[in-house]
Structure 1
């Protein structure tokens, strides 16, 4: 048996997040266009006397280290299905913002699942890994797959998408987090008594991705949760305005927020936007990166 396995897993940005009305189960139907970006967590799994979770990196103190952590839940579910003792040490090296709307927790779940599958030699079929991911959370399957995909249902049903080039992004980290359930509750409150249309992916946006056309993508990005995120965290409007003023082609809240995402025409422009956002005083930290990025990958 391998003694230690490390898996690298990417963050995501939603270039379209179309949200339907609340379902009887409390979830919402989505048309969710995911794009994996080059910010990564690494999950390292080592045999241990019992299951335990540790975490290091920015905002690691906010990450739960008990069995509610998606990495722990992934290990427990794979162990249950294959009759394996889940006695492992899961160490998460965080670089994806915590509670930032970039699927950091989901990434850790997908990373732990692939790492445990490799460590234990369970060789679970890809479809079973995706099934476990969907049980863990709506964003977890995409964290495993990476690249670009359209997520339907509550986001867990994935169709891979073609991406015809590299897109350049700047991400601005907010001073505090936002709870995804709270943002969805605010979305429901703001749409009370309104007929919310069925979520549908924008064909113009899918075409822009396939062509690698940043200008066309900028014209079509959208996030139905953005008004709710801004309602709960009004200062994000200042960050969005600062990025636009610095030359970003598009500015939007990433997922449920509060991280804000800025699409730039090229790498140099992205660095310029990043410097302007840092100087603006409207955010805590700035990261510049590219997409698409590969999904969960075993290192070494």
Structure 2
């Protein structure tokens, strides 16, 4: 005849298994029963308080006792709900061969790691953060819903059910007209999203990555923009240049603003943005970005995008 005395080892011998797939959450429980019997029926229940409330979860085990000790995996028969430990306190009730042991044992820190694991995967749960920031500040989503990131990479762009930009960066959306009556005819993008090392000089040099040609069929306007993330220990500048290739071959010069960055060793470098609107006649044009620093020094292009729109 065994004694209805059980030593709870919940805190010391409570181990946690947290598989991230479809397998159930498991709690490893080790207990001790005094007596000579080699088996017992043990019912485990998890309750919201220490007294009379009904159990939130219950599981029955037929245990084999060796040296007065036994071990079971709670949750191996009846799965533990993923939100079971979402409240501040939970208590374990244990019954041995029909005798309920008292008092209930409070479940402490270790088991609450279940909720921490659940937080890693919020599938089927709502979240309500004030803002979201990715690792190293690479992108942010603020409380107004605005997303800020140096570059967005996508196969194509669709607004509603309307395709806007294809996988090559070409505008395929509806024809757009501005307030001045101009219509968007072509949309050209050149994007770099892998790090590339280059050297600054004290004179202006072109970025070979951001050097593109645009066909202009009718007199109109080029709207050119460049955004980039550049890492360099010295201050530096970028600018937009334009050259007509045909019907005449002439360098038209630097247009728009000169954008600069301070020297930084930060992970994402400094952001630069150049913008220019230029009136053009029919022909072929070369659009390219130049860079310059106060001395010869290594720089790293983290990411960048050159966009050229033609209106007529």
Q: Tell me the TM-score normalized by structure 2.
A: 0.20
Higher relative contact order (CA 8 A, sep 6+): 1
Q: Tell me the TM-score normalized by structure 1.
A: 0.21
State the structure with more CA Rg. 2
Structure ranking higher in helix proportion: 1
Structure ranking higher in strand proportion: 2
